[in-house]
Amino acid sequence: MLNIRFVILAIVLSSIINCAKAQIAVGLEGGAGVNYLQTNISNLSYTNLETLGGFDINGIVRYNLNKTFFVSSGISYLQKNYALVRTENYQGIFQQTINTYIQIPEMISIQKGNKRMSYFISAGLYQAYWIEGKLKGSIPNIYSVSDVNVNNQTSESFDLTGYDEKYVFNSQKDKRFEFGVAFNAGTNYFLSKSNFLSVEINLYNSLTDQQKNYMINQRPRLNRTVTFSVGCFHEFN
């Protein structure tokens, strides 16, 4: 009697596992993106805030609820970069901030298509952790200042010195956890019954400040990141 129950249980578990596998697709994506730092720099004269490119690597798991809907999650390794560039008489002075995050999105998607190609749009949330930063740029070298006389008018000139250094986190200032909303749209192209390519564009919009509330009249700093990625998936069936 015990053996019969064991066999029945094994058959039921095997059926559940096979059914689950038939609904799961696992993939790896990679691409590039740009980050828009949403903040107010009106207090910085002769300075522009510019977008800066970065990379995006994603490991993704999709679970098909039915032919129309699927949910997905995974882990991403991506950059959210920006640059401050001086203008007019300060041209040539700049600072690039290279920020790297580990990010986990949770998305629900609606899809439509056929056995060869399908299209989808998605919405959801994400959590991210700021793991490292780097500062690159150029600043005036005060030891290279010299006087220049042109048409009996004297002015000063100086050389620029470059730097490339690791960003040191400040526990009182930096908020390393980030939370936001995510949207994407893309297409899947099936190479076979089990393997398909995916091309998608993603938007990640932070709802949390990059800084802790550490001073009066603080200006928020929010990341808005757009990425374009291409990947390959294997569907278990």
8 belongs to a structural domain: no
CB 102 within 8 A of CB 77: yes
183 belongs to a structural domain: yes
142 belongs to a structural domain: no
7 belongs to a structural domain: no
The whole-number pLDDT of residue 150 equals 59
Average pLDDT over residues 168-177: 95
pTM, 2 dp: 0.84
Count of domains for the chain: 1
Q: Which two tokens stand for residue 157?
A: 């000139």
Q: Per-residue pLDDT tens for 39-56?
A: 999 888 899 999 999 999
2 belongs to a structural domain: no
Q: Per-residue pLDDT tens for 185-208?
A: 999 999 998 999 999 999 999 999
Give SS3 for 156: strand
Q: Per-residue pLDDT tens for 3-50?
A: 555 554 454 445 444 545 558 999 999 999 999 999 999 888 899 999
> Dihedral of CA 169/175/177/181: which sign?
negative
10 belongs to a structural domain: no
CB 56 within 8 A of CB 32: yes
The whole-number pLDDT of residue 7 equals 52
The whole-number pLDDT of residue 146 equals 64
Domain of residue 128, CATH code: 2.40.160.20
Instruction: Provide the domain limits for residue 177.
Output: 25-137+170-235
46 belongs to a structural domain: yes
Q: Per-residue pLDDT tens for 79-120?
A: 999 999 999 888 889 999 999 999 999 999 999 998 899 999
4 belongs to a structural domain: no
The whole-number pLDDT of residue 13 equals 45
